[in-house]
Amino acid sequence: MTDGDRGLTVDARIPRGDFEVVARLAVAAAETVALLGPNGSGKSTLVRTLAGLLAPRAGRIVLAGRPLDDPAAGVRVPPRARRVGVAFQDPLLFAALSVRDNVAYGVRARGASREAARGRAERWLARLGLESLGAKRPAELSGGQAQRVALARALASESDLVLLDEPLSAQDVEARGAARRTLGAALAERGVPAIVVTHEPVEALTLGDRVVVLEAGRVVQAGTAEQLRRRPASPYVAALAGVNLVRGTIARAEDGGLALRADGVTLVVARDDLAPGVAATALVPPTAIALHAERPDRTSARNLFGSRVVAVDRLGSRVRVTLDTAPPLTAEVTAASLERLALGPGTPVWASIKATEVEVEPEPSALDAADQAGRRRAARGLTSDPDFPGGP
Amino acid sequence: MRTPRLVVAGAALAAAFFALPVAALVARAPWSAALDVLARPMAREALRISLVASGAAVLLALALALPLAWILARTRFPGRSIVRLIVVLPMVLPPVVAGVGLLAAFGRRGMLGGALEALGVQLPFTLAAAVLAATFVSAPFLVLSLEAGLRGLDPRVEEAAATLGASAPRVAWTVVLPALRPALLAGTGLAWARALGEFGATITFAGNLRGRTQTLPLAVYETLQTDPGAALVLSLGLLGLSALLLVALRGLAARGPA
């Protein structure tokens, strides 16, 4: 850890009803860790503990060189003094205050003047594309807007750690990609350690510099998306890290649209705001790849190609079929369709992917790519989007 | 669906039943003598004592009701329902019984009488007794209203405020109180109206001493025996005061959180 003194280290045992959450992780300054795990794995318990709302039974939590919890030494910093900005799963906005004063609340509570706090609030509202909502009351907001206001409130406060619990769960599916880029850029701007709890592999892989997987109260794996893909430590990790990640260059597709051209595959994408020649990354969920024994006569999918099966892995009732493409794409099908298609290593197969299921994002520029993680995300966030205007 | 005629007739009868006494007060009052009556020292003193006693009672009731409502709404402990029962009992207790109870507890020969006397405090038949009597009967309205209000709040919102760096008093002032505002105004209105109209417990515990413990309702009762016309005028005054209070609190509630 290069920024050890501004980072977060957690080594704690937290009682949680019938079991114990054993949390061991470190987050560097300006690093974002995506915390993934099934329901009931202890993610929210960890969030509440870091926020100071639950007490660990043993261990140590240190943030920016300051011990927050250390039961053995009698240390327990209360929530208000921890300098941890939290956006909980529910917005939990202050109903009697305007949106602007909600966002200004944390700044004001830590001693800033009303004017300074409002100024900072305005800046963060604009950062998240909410500048027109400042005078409204929380009751007048949609669920998605309320969630973004709660994010602005957490980010605007002068905190040493940002904790976001399912930050985009209430966003429309169409707005999620843009919301993610905005959020990534905002986190980079804060430059403090951040933990983003999510169910969504795509969110984890795009927002997180690293992924930490929690199952039944234990950290089962921690690493980059690539590391998780290569050596999944559990079926859950295998299932969630199985998202196909294809890097390539934007080019004109045969049908006039845009496509992402990689070594061995070309994926038509449903976006028209990228310039040909731009380096980009596509994410393809394994469930979005349909397999066929014969070339299908009619399909609405704009991506169709023939390939060969390399490997078949069973994960309970689901089966992952890896194809002989470059890079290798993994499709997920049911055990029943595996039987029907009679697939095994070496079997020729046709694959189809709807362009709308391919999520593509421009790669950061070469300059920023060489820079640190935070700068990388900042570049991503600058992508223009009508719903989420760039920062101030 | 058409409303059945029988229901309409019943509702009209009920409305008339409630409206008639008020209308009669207005119709039968000797308006020409009204200013004269209200200017009498007895009326002015009763008004002053009523305002002071009911105002102090509401403030005291607020101070007692807030922590109690908090405990009832936010904590679980054995016997909580019994505590709630005891606290709201004054709502259904005949006021004169409340007065006798207050005497038995705080009277000179009451349970705490000796202790109070040792401290040089004598409660019965003082303005303080009138305040206590009004507090005893009006505070339950505030407790119930505030408990319901607190139950409607999500404690996680207060946790969120704490993570943003707010101290407990700041959370109470900026998050809890504004959210409790409707319950607070409704409860205060009910409690104040009840305190203003208090009669039985006051006359039993505080007596009916003109200029010291005689509130407007007591003055109305006393005047009625000798000068029914003046009693009508005083009653209208009390009615006007209650109405004013109601309108003022409604206005505050309608303005919404500041």
β-strands A58-63, A66-70 pairing: antiparallel
Report chain A's mean pLDDT, rounded to a whole number.
85
The answer as to whether A392 is a domain residue is no
Distance from CA of B171 to the nearest CA of A (A): 10
The answer as to whether B43 is a domain residue is yes
CB burial string A269-296: b at 16+ within 10 A, e below: bebeebeeeeebbbbbbbebbbbeeeee
DSSP secondary structure, B145-202, as one string? HHHHHHHTS-HHHHHHHHHTT--HHHHIIIIIHHHHHHHHHHHHHHHHHHHHH--HHH
Gap between the Cα atoms of B158 and A92, Å rounded: 9
Residue B77 structure tokens: 């402990």
Respond yes or no on whether the N-terminal peptide bond of residue A348 is cis (omega within 30° of 0). Answer: no
Report chain B's mean pLDDT, rounded to a whole number.
92
The answer as to whether A325 is a domain residue is yes
Distance from CA of B179 to the nearest CA of A (A): 6
The answer as to whether A386 is a domain residue is no
- Pair A81, A200 in one domain: yes
Gap between the Cα atoms of B250 and B256, Å rounded: 10
pLDDT of residue B47: 94
**Which chain A residue has its CA at the smallest distance from B177's CA?**
A96
Give me the long-range contacts of A363-366 (CB less than 8 A, separation at least 24): A363/A247, A363/A278, A363/A279, A363/A280, A363/A281
Q: Which residues of B touch A106 (CB under 8 A)?
A: 164-166
pLDDT of residue B69: 95
Contacts of A205 (CB under 8 A, 6+ apart): A34, A211, A225, A243, A245, A283
Average pLDDT estimate for B69-90: 93
What sign results for the dihedral spanned by CA atoms B195, B201, B203, B207? Answer: negative
Average pLDDT estimate for B23-45: 91
The answer as to whether A12 is a domain residue is yes
Average pLDDT estimate for A229-245: 72
- Pair A100, A125 in one domain: yes
User: Residue A364 corresponds to which amino acid?
Assistant: P
Name which of A44, A77, A80 to mutate to probe chain B: the one with the most chain B Cβ atoms within 10 A of its Cβ: A80
How many domains in chain B? Answer: 1
* Host domain of residue A202: 4-243+369-381
The answer as to whether A147 is a domain residue is yes
The answer as to whether A388 is a domain residue is no
pLDDT of residue A239: 67
The CATH number that applies at residue A284 is 2.40.50.100
Quick check: B41 contacting A, CB < 8 Å?
Answer: no
Helix, strand and coil in chain B, % to nearest 5: 80, 0, 20
Q: Which residues of A touch B154 (CB under 8 A)?
A: 92
Coil vs helix vs strand at A149? helix
- Pair A223, A296 in one domain: no
Name which of A53, A94, A120 to mutate to probe chain B: the one with the most chain B Cβ atoms within 10 A of its Cβ: A94
pLDDT of residue A383: 35
- Stated pTM of the model: 0.73
The angle, 0 to 180 degrees and rounded to 10, between the axes of the packed helices A114-127 and A143-156 is 130
Q: In terms of Cα–Cα distance, which of A294, A326, A295 is closest to A310?
A: A326
Quick check: A83 contacting B, CB < 8 Å?
Answer: yes
pLDDT of residue B208: 94
pLDDT of residue B64: 96
Q: Is residue B41 left, alpha or beta, with left meaning phi > 0 and alpha meaning psi from -120 to 50?
A: alpha
The answer as to whether B48 is a domain residue is yes
Q: pLDDT above 70 covers what percent of chain A?
A: 89
Confidence grade of residue A364 (pLDDT, cut at 50, 70, 90): low
The answer as to whether B187 is a domain residue is yes
Distance from CA of A45 to the nearest CA of B (A): 14
Contact state of B164 with A84 under an 8 Å Cβ cutoff: no
Q: Is A179 in contact with A389 (CB distance < 8 Å)?
A: no
Quick check: A229 contacting B, CB < 8 Å?
Answer: no
pLDDT of A31 > 90? The answer is yes
pLDDT of A377 > 50? The answer is no
Quick check: B169 contacting A, CB < 8 Å?
Answer: no
- Pair A376, A355 in one domain: no
Average pLDDT estimate for B116-137: 92
pLDDT of A371 > 80? The answer is no
- Pair A261, A236 in one domain: no
Q: Which residues of B touch A93 (CB under 8 A)?
A: 157
How many domains in chain A? Answer: 2
pLDDT in tens, A274-311: 888 888 888 888 888 999 988 888 888 888 889 999 88
Residue B194 structure tokens: 């009840």
pLDDT in tens, B132-182: 999 999 999 999 999 999 999 999 999 999 999 999 999 999 999 999 999
Coil vs helix vs strand at B253? helix
Confidence grade of residue A365 (pLDDT, cut at 50, 70, 90): very low
- Pair A31, A42 in one domain: yes
Q: In terms of Cα–Cα distance, which of A212, A189, A182 is closest to A361?
A: A182
Residue B106 structure tokens: 């705080």
Of B161, B167, B257, the CB nearest to A105: B161
- Pair A222, A319 in one domain: no
* Host domain of residue B154: 32-255
**How many residue contacts between A and B have a Cβ separation below 8 Å?**
66
- Pair A185, A258 in one domain: no
User: Residue A130 corresponds to which amino acid?
Assistant: L
The answer as to whether B24 is a domain residue is no
Coil vs helix vs strand at B58? helix
Q: Is A41 in contact with A214 (CB distance < 8 Å)?
A: yes
The answer as to whether A260 is a domain residue is yes
The answer as to whether A31 is a domain residue is yes
Average pLDDT estimate for A58-81: 96
Residue A54 structure tokens: 């639950």
Q: Could you say which residues from 106 to 165 on chain A have a Cβ atom under 8 Å away from some Cβ of chain B?
A: 106, 109-110, 153, 157
The answer as to whether B8 is a domain residue is no
Contact state of B181 with A51 under an 8 Å Cβ cutoff: no
The answer as to whether B5 is a domain residue is no
The CATH number that applies at residue A42 is 3.40.50.300
Confidence grade of residue B209 (pLDDT, cut at 50, 70, 90): very high
Quick check: A388 contacting B, CB < 8 Å?
Answer: no
The CATH number that applies at residue B185 is 1.10.3720.10
ipTM of the complex: 0.76
Confidence grade of residue A158 (pLDDT, cut at 50, 70, 90): confident
The answer as to whether B6 is a domain residue is no
- Pair A52, A162 in one domain: yes
Quick check: B178 contacting A, CB < 8 Å?
Answer: yes
- Pair A157, A249 in one domain: no
The answer as to whether B12 is a domain residue is no
- Pair A191, A203 in one domain: yes
Distance from CA of A81 to the nearest CA of B (A): 6
β-strands A348-353, A303-315 pairing: antiparallel
**A250, A253, A257, A260: CA torsion to nearest 10:** -30
- Pair A22, A144 in one domain: yes
